[in-house]
């Protein structure tokens, strides 16, 4: 079982990052009220929600296999309490911060009908912190595989592109110039 847990942990973390990237990009599109005939807003919102759920599943695979794998000593407390791990405390601490933020996002989404919209929106602004922290966690933990760096770069490019698109769609000067309402 030795190496299989290591590979499962790394694959789970990488897949969680890719799915989190997709979730983040779709969240930006949804918040910008983007829709087309082929992709109505409710379709984008459902895809956003389902990608979020898949992100949580692969994050759970990443966490469980990292903790169960005995190669390095990572405890369950290290998963949720930032910067206390004995092994690479800073980089694992960033992972714990990302997990904590993601848990807050999931909990408030599940309780959305029971909490004030302002509370839900305020917590969801944390998504802007969750994604880069997760990316830096993965980069900081290190990898010797060139294609993982390519995947990380594609994730970064996708988010930067979506942020630029979103900013251009909502900036008053852009709206006035192109006539978008």
Domain that holds residue 161: 2-178
Average pLDDT over the chain, rounded to an integer? 88
Q: How many other CB atoms sit within 10 Å of the CB of residue 23? A: 25
Is the pLDDT assigned to residue 19 strictly greater than 90? yes
Is the pLDDT assigned to residue 173 strictly greater than 80? no
pLDDT tens digit sequence for 148-170: 999 999 999 999 999 998 888 76
Predicted pLDDT of residue 31: 73
Torsion of CA 116, 45, 29, 119, to 10 degrees: 10
Is the pLDDT assigned to residue 179 strictly greater than 70? no
Residue 176: pLDDT band (50, 70, 90) is very low
Residue 181: pLDDT band (50, 70, 90) is very low
Residue 34: pLDDT band (50, 70, 90) is low
Q: How many other CB atoms sit within 10 Å of the CB of residue 118? A: 8
The pTM (predicted TM-score) of the whole model is 0.86
Most distant CA atoms of the chain, gap in Å: 60
d(CA 32, CA 25) in angstroms, rounded, equals 11
d(CA 92, CA 137) in angstroms, rounded, equals 7
- Top mean pLDDT of 30-34, 65-69, 122-126, 172-176 is at 65-69
For the chain, the domain total comes to 1
pLDDT tens digit sequence for 80-123: 999 999 999 999 999 999 999 999 999 999 999 999 999 999 99
Is the pLDDT assigned to residue 175 strictly greater than 70? no
């Amino acid at each position: 079982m030795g190496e299989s847990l290591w590979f499962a942990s790394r694959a789970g973390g990488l897949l969680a990052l890719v799915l989190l990237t997709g979730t983040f990009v779709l969240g930006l599109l949804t918040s910008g009220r983007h829709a087309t005939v082929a992709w109505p807003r409710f379709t984008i919102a459902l895809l956003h929600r389902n990608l979020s759920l898949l992100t949580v599943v692969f994050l759970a695979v990443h966490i469980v296999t990292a903790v169960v794998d005995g190669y390095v000593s990572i405890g369950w407390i290290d998963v949720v309490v930032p910067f206390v791990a004995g092994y690479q405390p800073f980089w694992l601490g960033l992972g714990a911060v990302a997990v904590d933020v993601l848990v807050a996002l999931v909990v408030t989404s599940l309780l959305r009908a029971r909490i004030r919209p302002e509370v839900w929106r305020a917590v969801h602004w944390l998504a802007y912190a969750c994604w880069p922290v997760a990316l830096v966690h993965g980069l900081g933990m290190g990898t010797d595989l060139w294609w993982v760096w390519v995947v990380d770069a594609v994730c970064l490019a996708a988010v930067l592109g979506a942020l630029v698109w979103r900013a251009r769609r909502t900036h008053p000067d852009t709206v006035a110039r192109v006539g978008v309402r």
